[in-house]
Structure 1
């Protein structure tokens, strides 16, 4: 019976906490049992349109689906005390910081493949600096023109979604490359690995919204989910059509600049509600965010999926 209360007040907190994990287990189990990409070798003579269509499905499963699952933690996060919400924001910062650090290695790796060191430097440093500067200027302009003084978590959530989306292009590049090589089992493993990896992107996006007084309309969650996970599809297309170290390097550099700006926004969001950014809880959850991504990226994806 609907008593008019929001879901985080009608459903026990423990249910809100574990429900997304149940959905994740179902999706991963379905992929393991069905191995839906095991016949990719048969697409050797497929048309470009068929390849792009298949990569759209693969990218949707690897990108949009896990982000959507992670967003299911929003009611749980929203029910927490504001200090715990700040802890989730700090955890988001740890997730983003780890991703940025990992992408620095990717930028250096792709830069080493370029014949021109000056071009590599321009693409790497210039991409990071230009993206950070543009996003920072736009953020300050928005703050000056916003009606009212309330710091918008929804605005920050959109920035996080965009930054994560830029990072997701790199995941799509890996999937697209494996696809055109006809390695169906590797594509399946990459999708499973990225589903488990990208599950953390959902709460990373919605944690900023949880500290706002009112929940945004549902369409905002749908848009942010597509922004954060959808670019896996774009990366898959690019990986299947063009093998360009320069292109990959530019995308990674842009993503790093976007993430650095988002980290500034997260810090300002916490400072808006609290006297200090660095508390014992925030420091702990930041480290937890880094550790979780290390396990999901370096242990699950690098250690389990990629070998062989």
Structure 2
């Protein structure tokens, strides 16, 4: 460690010149003491994470009652708006990665290639995981219904044996029992379709929350690192900008599940859980960024977040296509196009504050 005098709040350029004349330098816009891990700093970073990540996302969840009551056309608009929001978030994450690679990461790590590798890998892994989770949930539901049907069939068989002597007299009743079994099988198929319609949007919303959580983790890293490096003005802009930026993310979580017929108490509990999944990682990001910032970790986590977001967009577009096929309008309707463009514009305009 090389001691030298400095004044808080004054910009400095700190550098090292080697024996062959090569110079490595770093500018500090406003000199300040580096945060030290203690209770006060941890509380400060926690408060920032709650203010930037948790509260705005939970505010965005308040769209739920409105979207639940709107027409099919307007609902398609909000679904495609969600896709636009997420596409912008994914691209924004990759741009942040590129900026970190150019400014803070040594060339030996080949940051751009690492980012592409992590993004594609996370996309494939999360796509497989989400599809597998949905399929397992449907299989469990079908198995439960089949067991119920077998139990009903077994009870009918026992009834036939105990009343064998009166088969002819009660033939019509036995026929009615068989008809009920057939009807029960049809009910199982109907229930299967209902489970598919229920679980698919729930899975999409959960993956949206996870993807946004990973993205917000990267935002927390940026805020914590800005404070660690003494960039007070930058950290203030990031806090205000990310807060407004993140209020739109709750809408992205709400839109896919707004039309699901579930009890209000259960749905509110699910929404709060998803909101916390999306917002709480910001707190962890500010801790790591403020106390132990690592450019390579920032590149990896932001790339994972980008891959997760692109996976969600893929699933969401598939869901929109399926949803539109059941509607009288064409899959590429004016509502869908307008919603997608509006989503991009919203994120662009709120991003101007960063």
| Same fold per superposition (TM over 0.5) | yes
Which secondary structure state, in structure 2, belongs to the residue aligned with residue 278 of structure 1? coil
Cα pair distance change 1:116/1:66, threshold 3 Å = same
| Residue 273 of structure 2, aligned match among 202, 223, 227 | 223
Q: How far off its partner does 1:116 sit?
A: 4.2
- Partner residue of 1:242? 292
Q: Which stretch of the first structure deviates more once superposed, 225-234 or 206-215? A: 206-215
Q: Which runs of 5+ in 1 are unaligned?
A: 1-40, 302-308
> Aligned residue for 2:247?
199
What residue is the counterpart of 2:44 in the other structure? 54
SS class of match (1:243): coil
Matches within 5 A, 1:287-302: 287-297=341-351, 299-301=352-354
Moved more, 62-71 or 145-154: 145-154
Change (3 A) 1:200 1:110: same
Give CA deviations for 1:13-38 in whole Å, capped at 9, x if unaligned: xxxxxxxxxxxxxxxxxxxxxxxxxx
**Contact preservation (8 Å) 1:173, 1:235:** yes
Check if 1:104 corresponds to 2:152: no
Task: Tell me what 1:20 maps to.
Answer: none
Where 1:72 maps in the other structure, the secondary structure is: helix
Of 232, 245, 257 in structure 2, the residue corresponding to residue 209 of structure 1 is 257
Indicate whether 1:124 and 2:115 are aligned.
Answer: yes
Greater C-alpha radius of gyration: 2
Q: What is the number of equivalent residue pairs in this alignment? A: 260
- Give the aligned partner of residue 59 of structure 2: 69
> Which residue does the alignment assign to 1:283?
337
In structure 2, C-alpha distance between the alignment counterparts of 1:176 and 1:289, rounded to whole Å: 28
Q: Indicate the residue corresponding to 2:320 in structure 1.
A: 270
SS at match of 1:217: helix
- The Cα of 1:296 is off from its aligned counterpart by 0.2
CA deviations on 1:244-285 (whole Å, 9 max, x unpaired) are 221111111101110111011111222232225421111111
Of the structure 1 ranges 64-73 and 207-216, higher mean CA displacement relative to structure 2 is found in 207-216
Change (3 A) 1:119 1:43: closer
Q: CA deviation at 1:47?
A: 4.4
Stretches of structure 2 that go unaligned for 5 or more consecutive residues are 1-30, 142-191
Asked if the contact 1:171–1:232 (Cα under 8 Å) also holds between the matched residues in 2, the reply is yes
CA RMSD in angstroms comes to: 2.3
Distance 1:181 1:111, change over 3 A: closer
**Equivalent pair of 1:82/1:211 in contact (CA under 8 Å):** no
Equivalent residues of 1:196, 1:296 under 8 A apart: yes
